[in-house]
Amino acid sequence: MSVEYRGETFAGYNKPKRTPDHPKKSHAVLAKEGTKIKLIRFGEQGASTAGKPKAGESDKMKKKRASFKARHGKNIAKGKMSAAYWANKAKW
């Protein structure tokens, strides 16, 4: 099921996608909670994030991930309608 929203195609609601052609943001998601729908762009274009935890991950990357989660914890807790929630889910 693909969804068209403001000229952009998404795989579905709450499914983040990369946006390599966007000038500033690296990802976009069409968030849906109940009947409320919102286009959320998140992630800095070209930023090197920690990504998903990997076996043998360096201490530096573990600290980087922990810092992000600590710094944005309050916004991540807001749920699907916040950019921090999606950045946490897709990039960290």
Q: What are 17-74's pLDDT values in tens digits?
A: 999 999 999 999 999 999 999 999 999 988 877 667 777 888 888 888 899 999 999 9
Q: What are 45-59's pLDDT values in tens digits?
A: 888 776 677 778 888
Q: For 2-37, b where at least 16 C-beta lie within 10 A, e where not — what string?
A: eeeeeeeebeeeeebeebeeeeeebbbbbbeeeeee
Instruction: Return the pLDDT at 86.
Output: 96
Domain that holds residue 65: 3-91
46's tokens? 């070209």
Q: How many structural domains compose the chain?
A: 1
Instruction: Return the pLDDT at 57.
Output: 80
Instruction: Return the pLDDT at 1.
Output: 80
Distance CA 59, CA 72 (A): 20
